[in-house]
Amino acid sequence: MLVGKKTRRVAIVGGVRIPFARGNGAYAQAGNQDMLTAAMRGLVDRFGLQGQRLDEVAAGAVMKHSSQWNLTRESVLGSGLAAETPGLDVQRACGTSLEAAILLGNKIALGQIQCAMAAGVDSVSDPPVVFPKSYQQLLLRSFRGKSAYRRMSPWFGLRLRHLRPVLPGLAEPRTGLSMGESVEIMVKNWGIARADQDQLAWESHRKAAAAYAAGFYDDLVRAHLGLERDDNIRTDSTLDKLAKLRPAFDASGNGTVTAGNSTPMTDGASAVLLATEEWAREHDLPVQAYLTYGKVAAVDFADGKEGLLMAPAYAVPRMLGDAHLTLQDFDYYEIHEAFAGQVLCTLKAWTDPAFCRESLGLPDILGSVDRSRLNIKGGSLAIGHPFAATGTRILATLAKILDEDKAAKRGLISICTAGGMGVSAILER
C-alpha cells in the first residue's frame, strides 16, 4: 500500500511527558484519560499544534477500565488538537507506545500519513476493579428475564461472595508467576549476582539525578498536578542501602531481586511527535532523529523453554540483521529496566556462545555493549515504569540524546514486555 514511488524517512520531532509518580501518590486521584490528555496537551503546546489536525494519533494503556474503550480518541478531543484528528487504541503490554510509534512510522514511510503522535499511559492508582463472573452472570440472567418474576428470581441467589472485588492480576496467566518471580528464575539460570543488580540500579538513579541537575529533562517533562519531576529518583541511594533490602519475590531468602533493583508501580504518560521531513520543515519544526527500524519477538516462557523477559534478546539481533548492523555499531543503548536482573540476563545472553549459536542461530556471539553508553540519562529503575508510557518516554529521550551529540550516528532501543514479548527499534541521525 505504498503511496507514490518511494518510502519516506520517519522523523522524530520530539516528545513530552508528565512526571512519573509512584503508585497511589501524586496521581492517586487521576486516571488514564487525565494523564494521557495532559501529555498530549504538553506536546501540542511545545510544538505549537493548537487547533491543527494530525493525520493519526495512536496510544494505549495496559490497565484500563472497560469504559475507556476509546481512550485515545477521547484524550485527543481534550488535547488542543483539531477535533478532526483520528485516535487509535493499541496495546502490546509494556511495549505499547513504542509499538504505536512503529505502526505510525510505517504509515509515514509508506506515504499514507504525514504527521502523527504516538503515546502511552498507565495508572496503577486507578485500576479496573471488577466483580466476579458469577455476579456478572446473575446480572445478565436478571436482564434477560421476560417477566417480573424472571427478572427478580436471580437475585434470590445473591451472596456476599458475589460482591468480592476482583483486582487486576499481576501474575502471568499461563504460569501463575508474577514478573518478579519470573525474573528470579532468570537470574538464577544466568548466574546474575545480587551485587551486579544493585550496581545497575544505583547507576540508574545516579544518572537520572544528574540528567535532571543538568537540565536535560527541562523540555521533556511538563509539571502535572503539582508534580514537577519524577518522584521515584533517589538522589541519596547508595550501594550499602540497596544491599540491605530483603528479596521481594523469593520467600526462601535466597533471592536476589529486591524492591531496590526492580521498577516501582508507577503512574504516568508520555507522547512523541512523528512526521515526514517535509511536514516538519513546512511547520518550522526540528528533526531530532529518524526512526529507521523496528522489530518484535516472542518466546515460549509458558513451557519453561525461555525466560519471561528474554524476548528482546531475540528481537534485537533479528533487527540488526534487517539493518545489516552489529551490536557495536551504536553510540547509545536504551534498554528498558523492568528489573536490573532482566537487563543483565539479556546482556549476558548476547555474549554467551551457546545461546547465540543454538537460540539465535548466529555463527558467533552478538557481543557486549559499552556500559558507559547504556541508559545515560537514567532508566526505568529510577524514573519509573507506567507500563504503556515507557516506550515513548525512551523514544523521546534517545532522540534528544542523538540530537545533542552531533558526532553520534544511531541508538538502539530494547523493551521487554509481559507475555514473553519484546519490542526493539533503531534511531539514527
Domain boundaries, the chain: 179-214+293-428
Position 251 scores a pLDDT of 84
> Are 380 and 341 spatial neighbours (Cβ–Cβ below 8 Å)?
no
134 Cβ contact list (under 8 Å, min separation 6) = 161, 162
> Are 72 and 60 spatial neighbours (Cβ–Cβ below 8 Å)?
yes
Q: How far is CA 36 from CA 108, 164, 274, in A?
A: 23, 30, 17
Strand partners, 294: 425
DSSP 2: -
What whole-number distance in Å separates Cα of residue 156 and Cα of residue 330? 66
> Are 168 and 127 spatial neighbours (Cβ–Cβ below 8 Å)?
yes
CA atoms within 13 A on the CB side of 372: 0
Burial class of residue 49 (count of CB atoms within 10 Å of its CB; 0-12, 13-18, 19+): buried
Q: Catalytic annotation on 94?
A: yes
Instruction: For residue range 142-190, list pLDDT tens digits in order.
Output: 999 999 999 999 999 999 999 999 988 779 999 999 999 999 999 999 9
Position 253 scores a pLDDT of 81
Domain 179-214+293-428 coded CATH 3.40.47.10: yes
Catalytic residue among 205, 224, 336, 385: 385
DSSP secondary structure, 127-138, as one string: ---B--HHHHHH
Instruction: Please list the pLDDT of the chain residue by residue as tens digits (429 residues).
Output: 889 889 999 999 999 999 999 999 999 999 999 999 999 999 999 999 999 999 999 999 999 999 999 999 999 999 999 999 999 999 999 999 999 999 999 999 999 999 999 999 999 999 999 999 999 999 999 999 999 999 999 999 999 999 999 988 779 999 999 999 999 999 999 999 999 999 999 999 999 999 999 999 999 999 999 999 999 999 999 999 999 999 999 988 899 999 999 999 999 999 999 999 999 999 999 999 999 999 999 999 999 999 999 999 999 999 999 999 999 999 999 999 999 999 999 999 999 999 999 999 999 999 999 999 999 999 999 999 999 999 999 999 999 999 999 999 999 999 999 999 999 999 999
Strand partners, 421: 298, 417
> Are 375 and 335 spatial neighbours (Cβ–Cβ below 8 Å)?
yes
Supply the pTM of this predicted model: 0.96
> Are 340 and 261 spatial neighbours (Cβ–Cβ below 8 Å)?
yes
Residue type, 108: I
Pairing of strands 266-275, 21-22: antiparallel
Centroid of chain to Cα 193: 26
Strand partners, 363: none
Calculate what percentage of the chain has a pLDDT beyond 90: 97
What whole-number distance in Å separates Cα of residue 73 and Cα of residue 63? 17
Position 1 scores a pLDDT of 81
CA atoms within 13 A on the CB side of 214: 10
Catalytic residue among 94, 115, 345, 356: 94
Q: How far is CA 184 from CA 161, 188, 256, in A?
A: 34, 6, 7
- Which grid cell is 224? 502535572
Instruction: For residue range 209-258, list pLDDT tens digits in order.
Output: 999 999 999 999 999 999 999 999 999 999 999 999 999 999 888 999 99
